[in-house]
Structure 1
């Protein structure tokens, strides 16, 4: 049975309640953590460019770079991205590797990738369509599905903040890698993405308020992602 999409505060609260019933450890974690805010990414080309720009750099750096790109382009869409010279992105601080991924993404859209249509696909199909684009790895796909579509089971196992929160919350000897994080999260199906949101909140608490979640809260300025393991 498909789970309701997490697209409202009520839906997120209900999903957190269900997760807490599913695993007492998550109930205890929720009691220790600030409530995860409702976060959202635009479910379009601009949202994916946001995530690409946010890979592997600090939140502050990502905000600055993406802000310069947006200011230079005006609107982040297929036409503006296609018309912009490489120098615009490089001058804004975007790396050549990320620029290559943006170019691959725009080429995929021009070749028929329907980003809006991904919302109607099964999660595995949508994820496969995204990771088929050179430079878009599992983390970017999972974060997009989680926050752009509100898919409650999309779990970015490669996210360092999620991994570190798992280590601290579960008392593990070492930070789990992606495969280990996926094994741990199996217990939380079909709410693994909701668990990730709770883990980001726990990480935030333990870092004195430094947010590491890879999508902006609806009520906050844009807050890009921290890391992708490609």
Structure 2
């Protein structure tokens, strides 16, 4: 086993990250001991990496542990990329001190963007979860992963595109997927498996170019693209203004009588660019309790 310790200069609220991870019943973690075990694929190899917090939000420090010593450097880099530890959240905090959201950032400092463990997994989860309440959304994605994924030492690896591409729509219908959602998941996976859609190439494109490409795919709309850009690629400037959670959070924060319209939110969000993703996360956080 190899071990590496990482210290960060600035803010990082790992305990909140664990809380968000805990929404998914298949993520192996312990909030009291402050660790999570992450499934990582490298080709056909499956690796499990444990990340544990040792420090505080103000002085973050982490221990990373894995088993394949020959792959330590690459696996460690993958972990650091997921948690985006190179981002300077102190600068984000100072930026928002000049906006109307300053009180929220005072209340929830160091709220980080943390990516899902794999871009394909993130896209499938976003498609599955779209237009569903959170409880049933995770019920559905849990059934999907347990039916077609693989559990290794207590950690679940989601099914690969080739596996999902080989499924029949009826196999997802048995899990309570709607016919359309089953088609969206399987047909998009077939595009990826057949080489017609390259998620790795999308990562190198602008947000606008990703929108243009993905929204041409049946079953993928703006909400799905925005959430995938945020949680799949870790982009900093996403504001899903049509999201009910964002609308409810702003209604609560400003004491409004009704939820603001998405056009109003986009307008007020102009002051939050180029870091609108942090506004989105902090707004969601303000109503999650």
TM-score range (shorter-chain normalised) is 0.7 to 0.9
Instruction: Spell out the pairing of 1:20-169 with structure 2 (5 A cutoff).
Output: 20-23=96-99, 25-33=100-108, 36=111, 38-74=113-149, 75-109=158-192, 110=194, 112-169=196-253
**Larger RCO, structure (CA 8 Å, separation 6 or more):** 1
Q: Higher strand share goes to which structure?
A: 2
Report whether the alignment pairs 1:192 with 2:280.
no
| Unpaired stretches in structure 2, ≥5 consecutive residues | 1-80, 150-157
Residues of 1 paired with 2:131 and 2:97: CA distance? 35
Deviations 1:160-217 (A, max 9, x none): 000111122123332122222211211111111111011011122xxxx2xxxxxxxx
In the alignment, the residues of structure 2 paired with residue 12 and residue 140 of structure 1 have an alpha-carbon distance, to the nearest angstrom, of 27
Take 1:40 and 1:12, find their aligned partners in 2: how far apart are those partners? 16
Map 1:194-213; keep pairs closer than 5 Å: 194-204=278-288, 209=289
Is contact 1:15–1:194 with CA below 8 Å preserved after alignment?
A: no
Q: 2 CA distance for matches of 1:123 and 1:136?
A: 15
Spell out, residue by residue over 1:60-98, the C-alpha distance to the aligned partner (whole angstroms, 9 max, x if none): 212221111112212422211111121221111212121
The answer (yes or no) to whether the contact 1:146–1:152 under 8 Å persists in 2 is yes
Greater share of helix: 1
Q: Which has the larger radius of gyration?
A: 2
The alignment status of 1:183 with 2:267, answered yes or no, reads yes
Paired residue total: 200
- Structure 1 segments unaligned to the other structure (5+ residues): 210-230
Runs in 1 of length 4+ with deviation above 6 angstroms?
Answer: none
* Kept after mapping to 2: 8 A contact 1:157/1:182: yes
1:111 CA drift (Å) = 5.4
The answer for the alignment partner of 1:213 in structure 2 is: none
1:54 positional shift: 0.8
CA deviation digits over 1:122-151, x for unaligned, max 9? 111112211111111111101111122111
